[in-house]
Structure 1
Amino acid sequence: MHPRTALLGVLRRVGRIGEHHLRPTAAVTAIQHRVLRRTPRARSRVPAGALHTAGGVALLACALGGCAVPSGARPTPTVAAVFQPGVTSTPAAASTAPALPSGEMRDALRDVICWYDDPSKARECMAHGEATQQALIRIAASGDRRFIAPLVDMLWMDLGWERSVREALEMVSGQRYATAADWYAAIERDPPPLPDGYGEWKGRLLSVVDTRFMDLVPKDGSSMRLERLIWAFGDTRSPTITSAKTIRASEERYLAAGDIMFGLRLNGDSRAYPERVLAWHGVAQDRAGGSDIVVFHCLPCGGAAAYRRAASDGRSYTFGIANLVTGSRRLVFDAETMSLWDPVNGRAVAGPLATKNVSLTSVPMTRTAWGEWKDRYPAGVVLALDTGFVRDYAEGAALRGEGGLERPQFPFASLDPRFAAKVRVVGVNLGGVWRAYPIEAVEQARVVQETVAGVTVVLLSAGPGKGVQVYDAQGTRFERVSGAGAGLEVSDREGGRWFIDDERLLNTRNGRTRPALPSTPVWWFAWAGAHPDTTIWKP
């Protein structure tokens, strides 16, 4: 395919974002139910057009097979280079050439993307035209390692320039890797020097997809490692649920008993968020127990987290999906300041709010099955199928391209070896100590209790596949879970019985309570990436 066609494929996809955003009507609901009855069709998360290039094939393999690279990975041979800047194409030792003057480097980076000053020109200029080719020749001949990260970004995005970019990358680095994912893992393990203005340049590179990336990508690396910020094959206009519509659990007709559910209970208000719906949107803003909340679903993280919308600075923010990842965690952004947030820890990680250390307050959340949740909270409510958008809300449809992978979906080299990357954990903060518990092991044990940093914590489960709740035991020793549904209870060492719900434990005799602790169910790699100093519990 001609490079211009590949570029326009991305632009056409961007132009279609939001075309299915419809007002809620009976017709929309009818269409949704017809969609649910269809046999789901596999679809790629990679933009149209990208699959027709050599780099696009690598992106597809990454999206379908996962992009984590073993920490000991070494350079592997690639196809013979075809870009010939007048010197040998065989990778050599890293160049010792003197660094380019900042002005020459800035000009080369500016010239290598023809829409640098005006993203609208991307429809007119050729992504791999003469100006780009000449800029790549200058970059390759310079031997300046500060070009490595920008070239890896271009290789990942590939708009028809894969071979030329690869050759330039090999010449400035003295290394050769098979895929863009391998390259990202390599520069994570051994970070190269970055050029001045790299954040500005990266935002302008991505502006061909969405001009808001120019505001979202940090201008400097003071708050995060910019070379680890990776485009996630989309723009910032993913349709979020800004005002969640719900129906009573007893009136729901579209869910199966085994469908995955994220549930919470706040001030006596029980609410459930089906993964089959939430995963399509990533963000659901809601109101529970008299408080405004936001639920983030991170598809690459394998889980969800709930927070109060009122942040630590006293303001409430409106969130969207940034479609940028770091450590294979898909970031969100707030529309008010265009700061980036980590959905797993609820902190602003880049932008104006990151410099102020703004964060959100976590709300306890449980990952369980719909049948289990409905039995326990028959008077609760669940997200309605009428979201205002037409999507294939069949179970598992939104997870295609991620579900079942053994590795993280996006490039990530620094995997914590204490658990396998895709072990599900529930993470909690205990007296300032972050701690992760493998969900399957806790479900098998049904009761896990220990003291960490002065906090006596107890984790309870009704059994395999039924989720884990976390509570501050406040010195009470719990021993056995019994009952089911709304009658689920736990007994203590003194013979007392306590009703279990997602908000508290309630003593059936004297009314004493033990509060639930905020907890987050995600893949291990996502929790460890968001909390590098986390401790773990093992059976």
Structure 2
Amino acid sequence: MALLAVVVIGVAGCAATPQSTPTEGVAAPVALEDVAAGPPEDVPSALDNASDPALPTPLVDTGRIISGGPPPDGIPSIDAPLFEPAGGVDWIADDEPVIALDLDGDQRAYPVQILHWHEIVNDTVAGRPVAVTYCPLCNSALAFDRQVGDRLLSFGTSGRLYLSALVMYDRQTESLWSQVERTAIAGVLAGERLELIPVTMLRWADWRATNPDGWVLSRDTGFDRDYGRNPYVGYDELTKDPFLLDEEPDGRFPAKEPIVAFPGAAEPVAVLTADLTGSGVAHIEVDGEPVVIFASPGLASALNAPQVADGAPVTATGAFVPEWEGQALTFRPISGDGSSSDGAAVAEDDQTGSRWNLLGHAVAGPLAGARLTAVPHLNTFWFAQAAFRPDTVVLRLDATE
């Protein structure tokens, strides 16, 4: 979606070049399940003209929906994903970021080294149509239910940006959707909102250790891309300007300050990731409800080094409802440096002494095998949160909490 990606994509070949064989050294990838999306509808297209008077009033100034460089689908979504069993994957480094999704016990990992080049995966998980999305310009990973009313949508990249963030389009009505806001901002579906599905970005080794029988999105995508190479080298530098942001970033913090936010919150709050790195565990409230955040350093930044696997270490987070079967729980970090070791515990609850990992799984103690309910959260840059939600309250944490 960004000009940064265009240069690299031009080298790799922008055309969809099918791969004739699966990735060398692993079992042939498989298709798991698919719920077919609806057919294209004969309606005015916001992709063609977001200001078409035949369309509902857009939610935003359409003059600020600007080209990021590639045309629609120039960064191609993955519409027929193939998967490999976790135990057979040998092409992801331990510290590399993957986007973890768990629906009804169906555990899947989507490597960011692939999402760099595609940004959207239209998938079906546990019978539920989902879109797993990643915006490199915001470092934002979000997943949505693709069912909107009676419509079953599939999504592509529009080639446009709004507030330096991914604008998707649905192939049924060609409405434009803000990924960060999960809302149709122009088109027939303007004002519709997608249901969030919790995901977590974490180390591959941590996900693999927790989900040894899970499935991993394959690099056999049908496209010829240099998976593993980072087309956004150095983009996460703290003070580097956001790409094509058409307003001054909120000056309370550096533009690229990493934060944790809650995209479903009516009253937006955020926590600086640096504060979480110091505390390891944070108890906060979101819309008056208790939420616990677990944090673990050691995740390779997806936007730092020429190879994703070599990215500088950053902090991964998970957010959960702090209770189990009606019992409220409070947590403290595991003593030590707080770093995760292949799915190891990062927090211990005060009530039972059980130990919990970054995915909210109890891995030791009386509650071993239990899973906390995930709260949709978002690791992103400060500029993105502040641009979309300028009334965001930043909660500062005591590192001794």
Partner of 2:17: 22
- 1:457 lines up with 2:291 in the alignment: yes
Partner of 2:385: 527
Partner of 1:300: 137
Q: Tell me the SS of whatever aligns to 2:48.
A: helix
1:467 pairs, out of 295, 304, 316, with 316
Length, aligned pairs only: 340
Contact 2:140 2:379 in 1 (8 A): yes
Counting aligned pairs with the same residue, the percent is: 26
> How far apart, CA to CA, are the structure 2 residues paired with 1:17 and 1:335?
26
How far apart are residue 315 of structure 1 and its match?
Answer: 2.3
> How far apart, CA to CA, are the structure 2 residues paired with 1:276 and 1:16?
17
Partner of 2:78: 241
Structure with the bigger percentage of strand = 2
Which deviations, in whole Å up to 9, do the C-alpha atoms of 1:330-362 show, x marking residues without a partner?
2010011111101112111111111xx211111
Letter of the aligned partner of 1:534 in structure 2? T
How far apart are residue 401 of structure 1 and its match?
Answer: 8.2
How far apart are residue 386 of structure 1 and its match?
Answer: 0.7
Which deviations, in whole Å up to 9, do the C-alpha atoms of 1:344-385 show, x marking residues without a partner?
12111111111xx21111122222222333233222222111
Structure with the bigger percentage of helix = 1
Structure 1: unaligned runs, 5 residues or longer: 1-14, 31-211
Relative to structure 1, the CA distance from residue 500 to residue 470 in structure 2 (aligned partners, 3 Å threshold; closer, same or farther) is same
Partner of 1:420: 254
Q: TM-score, with normalisation over the residues of structure 1?
A: 0.57
Contact 1:342 1:530 in 2 (8 A): no
1:343-492 matches, within 5 Å, as 343-354=179-190, 357-396=191-230, 398-400=231-233, 402=235, 404=237, 406-428=240-262, 432-465=266-299, 467-474=316-323, 475-481=328-334, 484-488=341-345, 490-492=347-349
How far apart are residue 213 of structure 1 and its match?
Answer: 7.3
1:311-326 matches, within 5 Å, as 311=148, 313-326=149-162
> How far apart, CA to CA, are the structure 2 residues paired with 1:18 and 1:216?
28
2:359 pairs, out of 483, 495, 502, with 502
> How far apart, CA to CA, are the structure 2 residues paired with 1:502 and 1:265?
10
> How far apart, CA to CA, are the structure 1 residues paired with 2:227 and 2:295?
28
- 1:518 lines up with 2:376 in the alignment: yes
Relative to structure 1, the CA distance from residue 403 to residue 513 in structure 2 (aligned partners, 3 Å threshold; closer, same or farther) is closer
Relative to structure 1, the CA distance from residue 283 to residue 431 in structure 2 (aligned partners, 3 Å threshold; closer, same or farther) is closer
Q: Tell me the SS of whatever aligns to 1:515.
A: coil
How far apart are residue 513 of structure 1 and its match?
Answer: 5.3
Which deviations, in whole Å up to 9, do the C-alpha atoms of 1:382-436 show, x marking residues without a partner?
211111100111231x325845471101133231222211112221157632222
> How far apart, CA to CA, are the structure 1 residues paired with 2:187 and 2:392?
25
> How far apart, CA to CA, are the structure 2 residues paired with 1:401 and 1:423?
14
- 1:282 lines up with 2:119 in the alignment: yes
Q: Tell me the SS of whatever aligns to 1:373.
A: helix
> How far apart, CA to CA, are the structure 2 residues paired with 1:527 and 1:345?
10
Q: Tell me the SS of whatever aligns to 1:374.
A: helix
Structure 2: unaligned runs, 5 residues or longer: 1-9, 25-44, 300-314
Partner of 1:230: 66
Partner of 2:103: 266
Q: TM-score, with normalisation over the residues of structure 2?
A: 0.76
Q: How large is the RMSD of aligned CA atoms in angstroms?
A: 3.0
